[in-house]
Amino acid sequence: MTVLTSMASMTSTPKESLQQIFGFEDFLPGQEAVISAVLAGRSALAIFPTGQGKSLCYQLPALHLSGLTLVVSPLMALMKDQVDFLVGKGIAAARLDSSLDFNQVTAVYDSLQQGKLKLLYVAPERFANERFVGLISRLQLSLLVIDEAHCISEWGHNFRPDYLKLAALARTFAVPAVLGLTATATPKVAMDIRQSFAVAEADSIQTGFYRPNLTLLFEPADEPEKALVRHLAEKKQEGSTGPSIVYVTLQQTAMTVAEQLVQAGFPAKPYHAGIKDEQRQEIQDWFMGSDEAIVVATIAFGMGIDKSNIRAVYHYNLPKSLENYAQEIGRAGRDGQASTCIMLGNGDDLHVLENFVYGDTPEPDHVRDFVDHILGQETVFSCSVYELSGLFDMRPLVVKTLLTYLELEGVLQSTGPFYSSYSFKPLRPSAEILPRFDAERQEFLKKLLSCAVQQKIWFTIDLDEAAQRTGSPRKRVIAALDYLEQQGDLKLKVSGARLGFRKPAHASLDIAALKERLVDRFAQRERSDLDRLGLVVELVNHAGCKTGFLLRYFGEERGDCGHCSFCLQGKNALIGNEKNDKAIPEQQELAEVLQRLRSEYPQALASPRQVTRLLCGLSSPRLTRNKLSKHALFGRLEQYPFAAVMDWVKAQL
């Protein structure tokens, strides 16, 4: 990675920077107000629709601020694209993410220490690294930028536990100003963000969600695949389908629908989290370079994608929230030209989305046991998210959320992530390596390398044993191995990711109350997610302007738009939740099989929720590790809603 250390010539005013460096004649609505607040040293919140120039609100001020602008973003693709753009403009910018190798990370750290960078992009997880936090705390930090700021709010649609710690870090760094950026904040979420970062209400700038060039059509279809092909064929007859995105819920649906579109003669490709990174990048590049491409995608697609001429967005399945819907349709028509957004999803989608919500909620007793387990550790300890996930049958994100909650409760302090196992493959013999060092370092390296145990080609090193045998701190052992790799002496491979923690002393801790607070937080999260899904149904069924309904949700009032399906047609195609009304028939044989299966797998199927996950086809760590996701009963009752299946299961146990 190349980091430019010389900036473009500074100009006297932000307006001149806008024109001469960024090449824009004038500010977009809201940008100048946000930039003025930040340059005056005040924290601000920018709530702008997708594609309406949020990034300029910190990129431009960074050139006029004396210190470093630190940008926190969960989107790796966006970080890379923006750094490439800034470096191309002669602005000293860099990123730190998991895609960088040792030498690249070292180069960024060196640039930071030498004060050569104006902007640094990092993922929120980077703040668990003590070395990074220590370095940032010693630098002159002028602005902290929180991209996707709605992730900080537990009322938001895309809550991320790592974001909860950012407010405390801003105080730790004594940063003069914080800028929050989001495209999807309800009034309640905006208030959470303002309170977290001490943003005055006058410096919360919302430009409005209304997009007059978007036609919003709601056509719930019993056979969405046929409806989709029909719409695409009509557009093709008109001259061009234009670049389009089709959003689906499941990975398998993405692959099936893409194949159906190809068979119908359309250039379509699937995109989802299960595709390898290299292939996903190829699909993105193909889509960006085409005027006809159709991507059939889960919500994994589109974050950080900046393509201005997307002509249509189709929701093959219902979105899981109005925030998701607003974000996804916001990717259409960024060039201001007329574009169409068509909802094809129907009531059949609801129980799938509801099941995801129920499946993510941990067992209350497992939450309580988790707290006991953590409190029973030594004062300084480490843990594996993977191991805790299996031990308490929680998805990894739930484990990370619980650990974050315990940090915010003051029960834990993070000491940073590390790897428990290091392996290396020699590229040079020791006889060539050792003579380059002085006597003390030679002795240290001899002891270190003597700890290596040869497998076939790779050697493994127990870091704790190596630290003890060399009489050196663990950090020195790791630094030595990193240095030898940097010099081309060996190739490193790390595994066994662990999180380090310290338990501060507590005069008194009401453990029972702590457990119940955590249980309640997850229960509230489940209710909030279900309520958000219910609002999607209300939007589809709303007998009035659809655009107006959506705008009111985000705190904006406007008259009828004149270009949504209700305004154009004056009628609704209602959807219901017919599958939630389906009674589960007599299942005596299934009940007997379940009883036998529970006796075979007492831990994986201990609770009604665990059994319900099995029957509804929702994987969990214990189901996966016991290979029950391949059992004949997995997904046996997936056509029924989770809550109804769990009621049936409780009656059998």
- At 170-210, the pLDDT tens digits run 988 899 999 999 988 999 999 999 999 999 999 999 998 89
Which region among 149-158, 208-217, 478-487 has the lowest average model confidence (pLDDT)?
149-158
Residue with tokens 């801790």: 509
CB burial of residue 147 (10 Å; 0-12, 13-18, 19+) = buried
Which region among 16-25, 192-201, 469-478 has the lowest average model confidence (pLDDT)?
469-478
Residue with tokens 């229960």: 523
How many CB atoms sit inside 10 A of residue 471's CB?
A: 9
Q: How confident is the model at residue 162 (pLDDT cuts 50, 70, 90)?
A: confident
Percent of the chain whose pLDDT exceeds 70: 95
Percent of the chain whose pLDDT exceeds 90: 60
Which has the higher per-residue pLDDT, 463 or 547? 547
Tell me the average pLDDT across 217-240: 93
Q: Report the alpha-carbon distance of residue 191 to residue 188 in Å, rounded.
A: 5
Give residue 359's pLDDT: 83
State the Cα torsion 526-527-531-534 to the nearest 10°: 70
| Of 618, 612, 603, 599, the residue nearest 644 (C-alpha) | 612
Q: How confident is the model at residue 7 (pLDDT cuts 50, 70, 90)?
A: very low
Q: Report the alpha-carbon distance of residue 622 to residue 610 in Å, rounded.
A: 9
Give residue 159's pLDDT: 78
Q: How confident is the model at residue 306 (pLDDT cuts 50, 70, 90)?
A: confident
Q: Report the alpha-carbon distance of residue 414 to residue 501 in Å, rounded.
A: 4
| Of 254, 239, 242, the residue nearest 290 (C-alpha) | 242
Q: How confident is the model at residue 582 (pLDDT cuts 50, 70, 90)?
A: low
Sheet strands side by side (includes 459-462):
380-383, 490-502, 413-426, 459-462, 453-454
Give residue 4's pLDDT: 36
Tell me the average pLDDT across 360-389: 94
Mind giving me the DSSP string for 203-226? GEEE-----TTEEEEE---SSHHH
Q: How confident is the model at residue 303 (pLDDT cuts 50, 70, 90)?
A: low
Tell me the average pLDDT across 546-569: 94
Which has the higher per-residue pLDDT, 203 or 285? 203
Confidence check: pLDDT of 576 > 90: no
How many CB atoms sit inside 10 A of residue 179's CB?
A: 28
Q: How confident is the model at residue 577 (pLDDT cuts 50, 70, 90)?
A: low
Q: Report the alpha-carbon distance of residue 514 to residue 187 in Å, rounded.
A: 29
Tell me the average pLDDT across 417-422: 79
Contact indicator for 89, 11 with CB cutoff of 8 Å: no
Tell me the average pLDDT across 116-128: 90
Tell me the average pLDDT across 83-103: 87
Q: Report the alpha-carbon distance of residue 231 to residue 253 in Å, rounded.
A: 18
Q: Report the alpha-carbon distance of residue 416 to residue 412 in Å, rounded.
A: 12
Which CATH superfamily includes the segment(s) 14-206? P-loop containing nucleotide triphosphate hydrolases (3.40.50.300)
Q: Measuring CA to CA, how many Å separate 529 from each of 156, 161, 532, 575?
A: 9, 16, 5, 19
Instruction: State the pTM of this model.
Output: 0.84
Contact indicator for 277, 260 with CB cutoff of 8 Å: no
Give residue 161's pLDDT: 81
Class of 214-345+547-577 in CATH = alpha beta
Q: How confident is the model at residue 474 (pLDDT cuts 50, 70, 90)?
A: confident
How many CB atoms sit inside 10 A of residue 402's CB?
A: 23
The SS3 assignment for 387 reads helix
User: What would you measure as the largest C-alpha separation in the chain, in angstroms?
Assistant: 86
Cα Rg of the chain, angstroms: 27
Q: How confident is the model at residue 63 (pLDDT cuts 50, 70, 90)?
A: very high
Give residue 506's pLDDT: 76
Q: Report the alpha-carbon distance of residue 101 to residue 42 in Å, rounded.
A: 36
Q: Report the alpha-carbon distance of residue 71 to residue 124 in Å, rounded.
A: 9
Residue-wise pLDDT tens digits, 243-259: 999 999 999 999 999 99
How many CB atoms sit inside 10 A of residue 437's CB?
A: 13
Which has the higher per-residue pLDDT, 344 or 472? 344
Q: Which amino acid is at 322?
A: L
Residues of the chain within CATH 3.40.50.300 domain(s) are 14-206, 214-345+547-577
Confidence check: pLDDT of 143 > 50: yes
Give residue 3's pLDDT: 39
Give residue 653's pLDDT: 79
Give residue 412's pLDDT: 92
Q: Report the alpha-carbon distance of residue 311 to residue 343 in Å, rounded.
A: 15
Q: What's the token pair of residue 548?
A: 């107006």
